[in-house]
Structure 1
Amino acid sequence: MSTSKYTMPKGSLISFMSNKVKTHGGINFAQGIPGFNPPERLLKHLEAIAHQEIHQYAPGIGDLKLRKLILNHYREQQFTDEQLLILQGATEALSLVVQYLKNTINESFAAMAFDPVYESYRHLPRIMNIPFHAYANSQFDAKHLRQFIKKHKVRIMFVNSPGNPFGAVFTEQEMNEMREICESENVYMIIDAVYRDLYYETPPYYPIDQLSPQVFYINSFSKMLSVTGWRIGYLVAHEKHTPGLRDIHDYIGLCTNAPLQHALASYLEQENYGAAYVQWLRETLQSSYKRMEQSLQPLGFSIPQANGGYYVWTKLPRNADGFRFAMDLYDDVGVAVIPGMHFSEKGQNYVRFNIARPEKELLEGISKIEEFFTKREL
């Protein structure tokens, strides 16, 4: 086949690779979408409300019952009603905070995230003309991190735990040290906790008790309940930021889908905040991670240990090129993955596998990857 297939596409490699599956078929280990149905009882609640009078604008701050349920879920943190905004997914929450901070910080500054970097952390600053720097230190070092922040004039720090593409979880000590650095260096720490409930062993820790003005907390129901298309997320911030955040949201986001919020609230209220489904999903992901790890390692993949989330982040055998591998893997056996270069300048020899797929599809994909290696040598 002509080497023209190795021409780098424009735009997101996640969209590029996942669109191959959507257009031509295959196994989608690329895009971070679950292959599982949402909880059946959630769908029953959605079906039951279809003819209720809930099809106009929801309150801009979010469905009132859903707000109460979220606040009760975080009752140990004692979040107030004034601090909470329900938004169109975690992505709107991220963009809202970045836009608000750009309007608020009266000097030139940069944003940062920990390498490998989830795409929104890199591209939201780009869209808003804010310099971005990836922090690529292999081991957490508070002194080095502080120096990095000062050198690059960082005022926004994105923190994802468990992470994407690498499902690492920061320790309690590391998170507290980050918060202390942010408070002392006047940096805003944006915590993205969308995989909060999908840990493998130990629940992640977030420094959100008595929420500091330097900390913004973001979460979503998308991954927790396998409803990525519903776009229901939320933001919690210190009260001093509320007027500015709501002002921007009123004119850009306006409100989140009213019927879906209503159905979600009814489900959470009656099903212990989705605890049974989340437990099943957590155990399924942990099992899938172990199975993928056990299958890839004999093929020569090097896999740093993850502790949660949807993904296996892995270095290719013999330092093979991740983009060429992804293109060949799809063309030869119909399995789509994401080249690591999408997440990191140092990720040329890495790829990301989405393991949030049904067992049958996961096993079929693994079988095809093994078939690929019997035909090719990297």
Structure 2
Amino acid sequence: MQIEYAERIRTLPPYLFAAIDQMKKEALLKGADLIDLSIGDPDIPTPSHIVEAMKKAVEKPEHHRYPSYEGMLSFRKAVSDWYKRRFNVELDPEGEVLSLIGSKEGIGHIPLAFVDPGDIVLVPSPGYPVYPVGTKFAGGIPYFMPLKEENDFLPDLDSIPEDVCKKAKLMFINYPNNPTSAVADKKFYEKVIEFAKKYNIIVCHDAAYSEVYYEEKPISFMQIDGAKEVGMEFHSLSKTYNMTGWRIGFAVGNKEVLSGLGKVKTNLDSGVFQAIQEASIVALETDDKILKEIRDIYKERRDVLYEGLRDAGFEVKKPMATFYLWVKVPKETNSIDFVAKLLKEAEVLCTPGVGFGEYGEGYIRFALTQSKERIKEAVERIRRLKL
């Protein structure tokens, strides 16, 4: 029997992090003392009070049956309460909050609700690879919006051709940004809302990193007047509470947009395990002192890596949010070759910028997901290289 993949699979580029995993496996098989700064998977454990809440919740028989598709009302109420405390945004938990099996799942599914074959989706480049992949799975055409340093890594909406704007159904934006660590301000979001209203485009804001910040709290797209009219915001408990493996997130915003995403989900999944939702209510009520301790750890690591790379001659800006550093590679090389060089000669693994899209070429991304001591060691190894 001959097995043939569908075209949507055949035309996919290799998934960035799967390729990095393979590089990592090969290096470890050779006995490398690898320092992995490539993938944004927090090494800090989930806070213990959340784990304890999960232990209790998992013993409740009522959680062992199918969960509700949209999420427990108590969980959605906890999300709306969190948005009120954190951003002073009012959300109706019944119609303006939807649970997700991690924000990645919602991001991948949203094009299926609104994009027909041939429709355009505006996608940042560099950006999270799921934006264009989800678009292609729905038969849509990604139009890549360059994120350039001279524009503070914000898309230049005025440069998008008129015919593209008129065919666009969705626009993905992501701040604080992965991979560039850029943050957006009120003025930018206001321009996005004006643009979306003009061309009838649904805005999908990925805010997964809003709680990983240092000097200043990032704002939410939902805080801006008119945001609910044009779109929605994805969020996740993964990065905020070190719960990447728990697979729980949520979407908030426009009721009709969430209803469309919900229709996809009811046909393709059966919701989030209720014990995880119950533990996540405890997570959303976590005292900020605990979250500040986590941020302080990342801040210390950030400073060590930033100062070390700068002293080693790299061009790098100090990130104000996320746990990533977006670093220029030496001019005579490209991002993939430079990552390979660091892996081979320093046993340090990072991520090539081109893996996030064409406009990520010329950069590499480091993640602050190793201890301060290991980051210091990585810096010393890189310094010893002839760059």
Q: Normalising to structure 1: TM-score of the pair?
A: 0.87
Question: Is 1:278 matched up with 2:291?
Answer: yes
Q: Distance in 2 between matches of 1:55 and 1:180?
A: 46
Q: Is the 8 A contact 1:316 1:349 kept in 2?
A: yes
1:190: which partner in 2?
A: 204
1:4: which partner in 2?
A: none
Match among 43, 67, 75 for residue 35 of structure 1: 43
Query: After superposition, what is the alpha-carbon deviation per residue over 1:242-277, rounded to whole angstroms, capped at 9, x for unaligned?
Result: 443222111112201222222222344xxx435223
Q: Distance in 2 between matches of 1:147 and 1:318?
A: 27
Q: Distance in 1 between matches of 2:283 and 2:125?
A: 37
- Where does 1:80-91 land on structure 2 (aligned, <5 Å)? 80=92, 81-91=94-104
Q: Distance in 2 between matches of 1:152 and 1:170?
A: 24
1:15: which partner in 2?
A: 18
**Could you say what secondary structure the match of 1:70 adopts?**
helix
Which deviates more, 290-299 or 362-371? 362-371
1:65: which partner in 2?
A: 74
Q: Distance in 1 between matches of 2:153 and 2:342?
A: 37
Matched AA of 1:41? H
Q: Distance in 1 between matches of 2:157 and 2:337?
A: 34
Q: Distance in 1 between matches of 2:120 and 2:151?
A: 22
- Where does 1:293-312 land on structure 2 (aligned, <5 Å)? 293-312=306-325
Q: Distance in 2 between matches of 1:158 and 1:231?
A: 21
- Where does 1:28-177 land on structure 2 (aligned, <5 Å)? 28-53=36-61, 54-75=63-84, 76-80=88-92, 81-102=94-115, 108-136=118-146, 137=148, 138-139=150-151, 145-148=157-160, 150-153=162-165, 154-177=168-191
Matched AA of 1:165? P
Deviation at 1:151, TM superposition (A): 4.1
Deviation at 1:178, TM superposition (A): 1.1
Q: CA separation of 1:357/1:218 partners in 2, compared to 1, >3 Å: closer, same or farther?
A: same
Deviation at 1:86, TM superposition (A): 0.4
Query: After superposition, what is the alpha-carbon deviation per residue over 1:296-337, rounded to whole angstroms, capped at 9, x for unaligned?
Result: 112221113432102111101344222112112222332111
- Where does 1:349-360 land on structure 2 (aligned, <5 Å)? 349-360=362-373
Matched AA of 2:262? R
1:215: which partner in 2?
A: 231
2:4: which partner in 1?
A: none
Q: Distance in 2 between matches of 1:124 and 1:228?
A: 20
Gaps of 5+ in 1: 1-8
Q: Distance in 1 between matches of 2:74 and 2:255?
A: 21
Q: Is the 8 A contact 1:299 1:317 kept in 2?
A: no
Q: Is the 8 A contact 1:175 1:206 kept in 2?
A: no
Q: Is the 8 A contact 2:300 2:372 kept in 1?
A: no
Q: CA separation of 1:127/1:204 partners in 2, compared to 1, >3 Å: closer, same or farther?
A: same
Q: Is the 8 A contact 1:92 1:253 kept in 2?
A: no
Question: Is 1:367 matched up with 2:370?
Answer: no
Matched AA of 2:294? L
**Could you say what secondary structure the match of 2:45 adopts?**
coil
How many percent of aligned residue pairs carry the same amino acid? 21
Q: Distance in 1 between matches of 2:273 and 2:198?
A: 39
Which deviates more, 57-66 or 224-233? 57-66
Q: Is the 8 A contact 1:216 1:238 kept in 2?
A: yes
Q: CA separation of 1:206/1:151 partners in 2, compared to 1, >3 Å: closer, same or farther?
A: farther
Deviation at 1:141, TM superposition (A): 11
Deviation at 1:41, TM superposition (A): 1.4
Q: CA separation of 1:357/1:142 partners in 2, compared to 1, >3 Å: closer, same or farther?
A: closer
Q: CA separation of 1:330/1:141 partners in 2, compared to 1, >3 Å: closer, same or farther?
A: closer
Which deviates more, 28-37 or 257-266? 257-266
**Could you say what secondary structure the match of 2:173 adopts?**
strand
Query: After superposition, what is the alpha-carbon deviation per residue over 1:132-170, rounded to whole angstroms, capped at 9, x for unaligned?
Result: 122225317999513405242333211111000110001
Q: Is the 8 A contact 2:72 2:274 kept in 1?
A: yes
Q: Is the 8 A contact 2:350 2:364 kept in 1?
A: yes
Query: After superposition, what is the alpha-carbon deviation per residue over 1:120-141, rounded to whole angstroms, capped at 9, x for unaligned?
Result: 1222212222111222253179
Match among 194, 198, 206 for residue 220 of structure 2: 206
Q: Distance in 2 between matches of 1:150 and 1:112?
A: 13
Matched AA of 1:250? T
Query: After superposition, what is the alpha-carbon deviation per residue over 1:206-251, rounded to whole angstroms, capped at 9, x for unaligned?
Result: 3314643311111000000111111101011312334432221111
Gaps of 5+ in 2: 1-11
Q: Is the 8 A contact 1:326 1:338 kept in 2?
A: yes
Deviation at 1:183, TM superposition (A): 1.2
**Could you say what secondary structure the match of 1:167 adopts?**
coil
Match among 294, 301, 304 for residue 291 of structure 1: 304
Q: Distance in 1 between matches of 2:16 and 2:259?
A: 37
Q: Is the 8 A contact 2:113 2:263 kept in 1?
A: no
Query: After superposition, what is the alpha-carbon deviation per residue over 1:67-91, rounded to whole angstroms, capped at 9, x for unaligned?
Result: 1111111233211121111010111
Deviation at 1:202, TM superposition (A): 1.8
